[in-house]
Amino acid sequence: MEEVKLTSMVKTSGCAAKLPPDKLHSIIDSLPIMKSKKLIQGFETADDALVYSIDDENVCVQTVDFFPPMVDDPYIFGQVAAANALSDIYAMGGKPAVALNLMCFPSCLDLSVMKDILLGGMDKVKEAGAVIAGGHTIEDPIPKYGLCVTSFMKKNCVITNSGAKPDNYIVLTKALGAGIINTAAKVDEASESSKKDVIKSMTTLNKKSMELSLKYKVYASTDVTGFGLIGHLSEVAKASGVSISIDTKKLPILEGALELARFGFLPEGRYSNEIYIKNEVNFQSNISREVIDICYDPQTSGGLLLFMDESDAEKYVSTFNDDCCKIIGKATKKDKKLLYFF
């Protein structure tokens, strides 16, 4: 069977394929909330995973995520999709325990492609210290892959997106710009070094980020995925009742992303993210258009956003010892806007 480029089969890829947030919330916000005494955390605050009580001390934390490919190599695609799904558990302060595969697969592709995707996912789940125990597959003209992931935790160890306090410092653990680079790579306009860097970022688990954070007091946490830096910061600000101030000069940005943004290689999700939240965001007038693009850019398997005391944030970044892990701003008392960029 003739080899087919995975990215040629999709219109949008990775987390950029998420339904635009305005459309998503128009439906979710209209639905009745299903309540249970055992459901501690549902979708009300747009947190990364549900939290369900097992007993007085223990909880089950569960999430699900899948998307179409952003790379042509099926094994790498499997790795990225798995790392992205596992990330939601790390964002809650948990350790993944068990996972289920979710696979949509076209009949035009050789089954060896499916095997390589699943092997990529399996290797990342193994790296996370978890196991895959089954899953579900359907035939679909557009390939898609991801996981449903479950963790078991002590109730008092769960970190949500609603606990941020004024004067918390904000740490971002991965560089931004993945959506822009992936968009350019689809038309062979991204450099080899940029493609290498973005693949390394997307396939890196947030395991180290989470494990190191357990040494410190983390007030709130989330990961940066399809709604971009701005979208996920706004969810924390809304849930916590704070505003957030970001120093754009401190943002870690993947090599080549700013230049590619300057040339217009922007995913569709970048615009839908802006449409949804722009009225809650204030950009200082001297910030360049491409930096604004980076802030709205949908990320795939992005880093964690951690809200910590100043001294803990500084120690965390120093111990993490990676140029992509930086303090990017702080939470403040609630103001007229949710987010301020300077």
Asked if residue 163 is part of any domain, the answer here is no
Last residue of a domain, one of 105, 124, 157: 157
pLDDT of residue 212: 97
What tens digit of pLDDT does each residue of 246-283 get? Answer: 999 999 999 999 999 999 999 999 999 999 999 999 99
- Indicate whether 285 pLDDT > 60: yes
The tally of domains found in the chain comes to: 2
Do 206 and 272 belong to one domain? yes
DSSP 290-312: HHHHHHHPPPSS--EEEEE-HHH
Residue-wise pLDDT tens digits, 45-96: 788 899 999 999 999 999 999 999 999 999 999 999 999 999 999 999 999 9
In a domain, 105, yes or no: yes
Q: What is the largest CA-CA distance in the chain?
A: 60
Instruction: Report in angstroms the alpha-carbon separations of 260 from 103, 174, 267.
Output: 32, 19, 11
Kindly indicate the confidence band of residue 2, based on its pLDDT and cuts at 50, 70 and 90.
low
- C-alpha closest to that of 116 among 149, 63, 72: 72
Please report whether residue 282 resides in a domain: yes
Tens of pLDDT, residue by residue over 304-324, are 999 999 999 999 999 998 999
Residues 150 and 206 in one domain: no
Same domain, 238 and 293: yes
**Does one domain contain both 22 and 115?**
yes
Q: Is 15 a catalytic residue?
A: yes
Mean pLDDT in residue range 203-208: 98
Shared-domain flag, residues 211 and 90: no
Cα–Cα distance for residue pair 84/69, rounded to 1 Å: 12
CB 320 within 8 A of CB 209: yes
Domain containing 60: what range? 6-157
Is 34 within a domain? yes
Residues 180 and 326 in one domain: yes
pLDDT of residue 336: 97
Q: Tell me, what's the pLDDT at 1?
A: 46
Residues 237 and 288 in one domain: yes
Domain of residue 98, CATH code: 3.30.1330.10
Calculate the dihedral angle through the C-alpha atoms of 283, 288, 291, 295, rounding to the nearest 10 degrees: 30
Kindly report the CATH number assigned to the domain that includes residue 332.
3.90.650.10
**pLDDT for the residue 67:** 95
Q: Looking at the structure, do residues 203 and 107 belong to the same domain, yes or no?
A: no
Q: Of 110, 132, 157, which closes a domain?
A: 157
153 within domain boundaries: yes
- Enter the pTM of the model: 0.94
State whether 337 and 200 are in the same domain: yes
E strand map for the chain? 39-41, 50-53, 58-67, 96-105, 131-139, 144-154, 169-172, 218-223, 242-246, 281-283, 304-308, 326-333, 339-341
Task: Say which residue, 295 or 2, is predicted with more confidence.
Answer: 295
- Residue 335 and residue 250 share a domain: yes
pLDDT score of 3: 67
DSSP 144-181: EEEEEEEEEEEGGG---SS---TT-EEEE-S-B-HHHH
Q: Of 15, 60, 295, 324, which is the active-site residue?
A: 15
Q: What is the pLDDT of residue 24?
A: 85
Of 112, 135, 157, which residue constitutes the final position of a domain?
Answer: 157
Alpha carbon distance 87, 65 (integer Å):
10
Lowest mean pLDDT among 40-49, 143-152, 181-190, 217-226: 40-49
How far apart are alpha carbons 305 and 328 in whole angstroms?
10
